[in-house]
Structures are given as C-alpha cells and as structure tokens.
Amino acid sequence: MKRFWDSAAMVPQPGGFGVVLDGRPVRLPGGSPLVVGPARLAEAIAGEWAEAGGGAKGGEMSMNDMPLTRLVGTAQERIAPEPEAMVTGLARYGETDLLCYRAEDPQLAARQAVEWQPVLDWAALQLDAPLRVTAGLMPVPQEASALAALRATLAARSPIELASLGVLVPAFGSLILGLAVVLGRLEAAEAHRLAILDETFQEEFWGLDEEARERRIRIAGEVAVAARLLALAGGGG
C-alpha cells in the first residue's frame, strides 16, 4: 500500500501514549487506537511510521516495515483481552524443550552440557522448574510440577512480554531460552546462539550451508525485534 501521511508523532493518550499520523491516531486492525505505556516505545513506533515507504508521502510500504507496531498490536488486541490462549500455546514448549534433548555424539553432547545446563539449572532454581534431560529424540516426560511452574511464570507476564515470547520461543524451540531473555538471564543474541548450537557444530565439520545461514539471519532479525520491544517496554535482555 502507499503511504498517505506526511508526519508521524508520539502523543499522550488516556492510559499511556499513542501515535498520530498528520494528527489522526494510528488504529489497530480491530479498530482500537494504539496505546502503549512507555513514551520511548511510542516514540520508536512513531519512528517506524515516519520511515515507512521511504519516509515520503506516496511511497510503497507494508506492515513488514513496522514490526514493533505489529507486535504491539498483537499484545493489545489479541493477547491482553484473553492471555490464556497465548500462555497455553507457549507452555507446551516446556514439554519438549530444546535444552532437554542432547545429542548422541559425545563431542556435541559435551558442548551442549557446558552451554545448555547452566540455563536449565537457572530454570530449576529461579523458576522452580527442574526439567529432565535425555539423549536422542525420544520424548522424555517432564514432571507436572515443573510444567505447572513454567505455566505460572508465563501467566505472570505482561501482554507485551507474551507477544515477545510468541516470537522468541518458536524461534529458539525452547521455552526456557525465551523466559531467560524476558527475565534478564540471557541477552537475546546469546539465546539465539545457544538455540543453534547443534547447527553450528555440524558446520564445523561439513561447512556452511547457505540456506541455513539465510534462515539464521532471518530468525536473528525477528529475535532482535522482540528483544527491542522488551527493552523499550522496560524489560528483557
């Protein structure tokens, strides 16, 4: 679509801050005006709209040009009214968390133990969610109490945090890594590095796969946006 405004600005709104385009409020797909708490987040969203379409009225643009807007819209219109659905979907990742499945190759398994186990230990101590570890791909059942603790941690997160986790957890294949980012245990880029440990290990022996590299770059970009949202909203690494 074409850009139809000249200026985008952050303005105070009841309950926080919004963004106006030539004085008209940005509205989300459901029709409600976009409203966020922190002024700096509203300023960043206004910056997205200011740059969309190359910054000139009439320029071609899409919502892909405004990833913060999309995530905030998800938080405001989809998650905030009914967070249970997002909590349930994310909690399922705890049942088959990436960090619990170690390689049968001794060298890779040793590296996974060094890199991954400290994050699992953190989850056990800080989240009261000790998870079992296995070798290979056969599912290992987790204690109901540990899964319940992870779910409780998710249920305590804000809509913005849940929207960010909705990006981070599938990107990592790990609820623990996602929570570690949101709760400040890991920087997002470090969590992504841990999530692709197996892939980069294989590349040490077989060389770089261009398709895999492009996929990693795309996912790293999505992770960076989610991490930026957390930082602007006042939390995460």
Residues with Cβ within 8 Å of residue 68, at least 6 apart in sequence: 41, 44, 45, 48, 225, 228, 229, 232
Q: What is the predicted pLDDT for the residue at 235?
A: 47
Q: Which residues pair with 101 in a beta bridge?
A: 134
pLDDT tens for each residue of 77-107:
999 999 999 999 999 999 999 999 999 999 9
pLDDT tens for each residue of 4-38:
899 999 999 999 999 999 999 999 989 999 999 99
Handedness of CA 156, 85, 90, 223 (dihedral sign): negative
pLDDT tens for each residue of 165-214:
999 999 999 999 999 999 999 999 999 999 999 999 988 887 777 888 89
Q: Is the distance from CB of 103 to CB of 178 less than 8 angstroms?
A: no
Whether the pLDDT of residue 137 is over 70: the answer is yes
- Radius of gyration of the chain measured on its C-alpha atoms: 20
Express as a percent the part of the chain with pLDDT over 90: 82
Whether the pLDDT of residue 236 is over 50: the answer is no
Fold of 8-79: ATP12-like (3.30.2180)
Q: What is the predicted pLDDT for the residue at 207?
A: 75
- Hey, what CATH class is 83-233 in? mainly alpha
Return the domain boundaries, the chain. Answer: 8-79, 83-233
Q: What is the predicted pLDDT for the residue at 54?
A: 83
Whether the pLDDT of residue 121 is over 70: the answer is yes
